[in-house]
Amino acid sequence: MLNQTVVRKHAALVDRMSDRLGVDLEESAFRGEISPELIPDLVLRCTNCANPEACTRLLDSMEQLEAAPSYCVNRDTLANLR
Protein backbone atom coordinates (compact mmCIF):
# COMPACT_ATOMS: atom_id res chain seq x y z
CA MET A 1 0.00 0.00 0.00
CA LEU A 2 1.24 3.46 -0.87
CA ASN A 3 1.72 5.99 1.86
CA GLN A 4 0.59 9.61 1.60
CA THR A 5 4.11 10.95 1.24
CA VAL A 6 4.77 8.83 -1.85
CA VAL A 7 1.41 9.71 -3.41
CA ARG A 8 1.92 13.43 -2.77
CA LYS A 9 5.42 13.32 -4.24
CA HIS A 10 4.21 11.67 -7.43
CA ALA A 11 1.10 13.85 -7.65
CA ALA A 12 3.44 16.84 -7.65
CA LEU A 13 5.62 15.24 -10.34
CA VAL A 14 2.59 14.58 -12.56
CA ASP A 15 1.36 18.13 -12.02
CA ARG A 16 4.74 19.64 -12.78
CA MET A 17 5.34 17.41 -15.82
CA SER A 18 1.94 18.21 -17.31
CA ASP A 19 2.56 21.91 -16.64
CA ARG A 20 5.95 21.81 -18.41
CA LEU A 21 4.24 20.14 -21.36
CA GLY A 22 1.47 22.73 -21.47
CA VAL A 23 -1.22 20.26 -20.41
CA ASP A 24 -3.76 21.47 -17.85
CA LEU A 25 -5.19 18.21 -16.49
CA GLU A 26 -7.72 19.82 -14.16
CA GLU A 27 -9.06 22.14 -16.84
CA SER A 28 -9.27 19.27 -19.32
CA ALA A 29 -11.25 17.23 -16.79
CA PHE A 30 -13.50 20.21 -16.03
CA ARG A 31 -14.22 20.67 -19.74
CA GLY A 32 -14.99 16.97 -20.13
CA GLU A 33 -12.04 16.44 -22.48
CA ILE A 34 -10.65 13.73 -20.23
CA SER A 35 -12.16 11.52 -17.58
CA PRO A 36 -11.57 12.89 -14.07
CA GLU A 37 -10.36 9.39 -13.13
CA LEU A 38 -7.41 9.80 -15.49
CA ILE A 39 -5.59 12.15 -13.10
CA PRO A 40 -5.29 9.71 -10.17
CA ASP A 41 -4.45 6.97 -12.70
CA LEU A 42 -1.51 9.06 -13.92
CA VAL A 43 -0.36 9.56 -10.34
CA LEU A 44 -0.59 5.84 -9.55
CA ARG A 45 1.36 5.01 -12.71
CA CYS A 46 3.96 7.58 -11.70
CA THR A 47 4.49 5.80 -8.38
CA ASN A 48 5.88 2.91 -10.46
CA CYS A 49 8.53 5.13 -12.03
CA ALA A 50 12.04 3.82 -11.67
CA ASN A 51 13.58 7.29 -11.88
CA PRO A 52 11.66 9.96 -9.92
CA GLU A 53 14.89 11.67 -8.86
CA ALA A 54 15.90 12.27 -12.49
CA CYS A 55 12.42 13.53 -13.19
CA THR A 56 12.64 15.97 -10.29
CA ARG A 57 16.01 17.25 -11.55
CA LEU A 58 14.65 17.65 -15.07
CA LEU A 59 11.58 19.54 -13.88
CA ASP A 60 13.74 21.75 -11.66
CA SER A 61 15.92 22.69 -14.63
CA MET A 62 13.32 23.20 -17.37
CA GLU A 63 10.44 25.64 -17.68
CA GLN A 64 9.03 23.95 -20.79
CA LEU A 65 9.35 20.53 -22.36
CA GLU A 66 8.48 19.31 -25.84
CA ALA A 67 7.93 15.77 -24.55
CA ALA A 68 8.15 13.80 -21.35
CA PRO A 69 11.44 11.92 -20.96
CA SER A 70 11.70 8.42 -22.39
CA TYR A 71 11.61 6.86 -18.92
CA CYS A 72 8.29 8.56 -18.03
CA VAL A 73 5.58 5.95 -17.52
CA ASN A 74 2.99 8.57 -18.54
CA ARG A 75 4.86 9.74 -21.64
CA ASP A 76 2.41 8.44 -24.22
CA THR A 77 -0.69 9.60 -22.37
CA LEU A 78 0.72 13.08 -21.84
CA ALA A 79 1.79 13.26 -25.50
CA ASN A 80 -1.75 12.40 -26.55
CA LEU A 81 -3.14 15.11 -24.28
CA ARG A 82 -0.91 17.76 -25.85
Q: What average pLDDT does range 17-34 have in this prediction? A: 92
Q: What is the pTM of this model?
A: 0.89
pLDDT band of residue 36 (cuts 50, 70, 90) is confident
Can you state the percent helix, strand and coil of the chain, rounding each to 5?
A: 60, 0, 40
Contacts of 10 (CB under 8 A, 6+ apart): 43, 46, 47, 49, 52
What does the pLDDT read at residue 74?
A: 94
Closest by CA position to 74, among listed 26, 18, 19, 20: 18
Residue 33 has pLDDT above 90, yes or no: no
